Amino acid sequence: MSARVLVIGSSNTDLIAKINRLPRPGETVIGGTFLRAAGGKGANQAVAAARAGAEVTLVARVGDDDFGRTAVEGFRREGICTDHTVVDRERPSGVALIFVDARGENCIAVASGANAALSPADVDHARGAIQRADIVVLQLEVPLPTVAHAVRLAKSLGKTVLLNPAPATELPRALLRQVDYLTPNEHELKLLLSRESRVESREPEEKRKRIRSGSRLSTLRSRLCCCYLIETLGAAGVRAVGPGFEARVPAFKVKPVDTVGAGDCFSGTLAVAIAEKMWLTDAIRFACAAAAICVTRPGAQPSMPTRREIEQMLKRKT
C-alpha cells in the first residue's frame, strides 16, 4: 500500500519572470522571459509527494476562476484527491509574482486570495481523511490559527505532523511542541531562534550557559522539546537533530536553473519517505535527491521529480 500523505495548505498560480538579476527597490529590469506555472507551498508539496509515490489528499481553497479551475484539474491529473479542495465563490485564487535571476535565486510576492480563507472548519470537514493519513504536512501560507487547529486535530488523532515553517514567521512554542518534524531553511531557522533568544535572555544565567554549550540546532530543538529539526542549507545540504539522532547529509551536486519550489519538494518527498518508515538519514537523502532534480528545472510544480527519477539520482554520489 502506498504511503498516505495529507497536505493542508496553499494553492497559487505562479507568474514568473526570468531575468539576469533581481531588481533593487524602485528599479525596473528589462528583458527576460515569462512563465506561468502551478504553485503554492501546499500544492507544491502535494504534487511532490504524489510524484514520489504517495496517495495524497490536499486540503486547500482556490477561487472560482480560471486559475482555480486549472489548479484543480492539475491536481487530479497528478492523482491527488481534491475532495477537500474547496472552491471559494467570493475570493480569487492565490497568485505569486516571482523573479528568478541567472543564478537561479528568486524573490517572491504572494497575493493570498482564497488561501487566506482556509479555516478550521475546512480542516474539520477533512477529519476522516486526516484519520486515514500516515502523515499530515503543513506550511504557513494559510492562516496561522488554521495551521494550529490542524496540528492539534492531527495530534489528537495520533498522526505524525511535518511543518515546513515557511514563509518565515515567529511561531508559538505551544504549536512547535506538537510538531514531529520541522523543516526550516537557514532564514526561517534564524527567525525562530530570534524569538527563542529573547526567551533565553530572561532565563537564569546557569540555564543560559547550559543552552549555549550545545550546537545551534540542538539549542533550538531543546526549546521545542521532542521534534526532529531538519535544517535545509541549499547547496550545503541538510543538518538534522532529534532524540538520540544527529546527522549531516550533503547535497547532490547539480547546476541550478531555478530554486523556486526546492524547499517544497524537499518537505513533500521527505514526508513520503517518513510515511514509508525509511531510516531518517535515508529519508533526508531521498528528499535531497528530489530537491536536487527540482532546481535543475524551471517552475515549482512542473519541476517536481517522479519516484523513478529520484531513485536514479540516489544512485549517484553526492
| Active site residue ranges | 264
- Packing angle of the helix pair 307-314, 280-294 (nearest 10 deg): 110
Q: How far apart are CA 176 and CA 223, in angstroms?
A: 9
Q: Which neighbouring-strand residues pair with 137?
A: 7, 162
Beta bridge partners of 239: 231, 248
Q: Residue 87: beta bridge partners?
A: 62
Strands of 160-163's sheet, edge to edge?
85-88, 55-63, 4-8, 135-138, 160-163, 181-182, 228-232, 238-242, 245-249
Cell of 167: 514563509
Task: Please tell me the total number of residues recorded for the chain in this structure.
Answer: 318
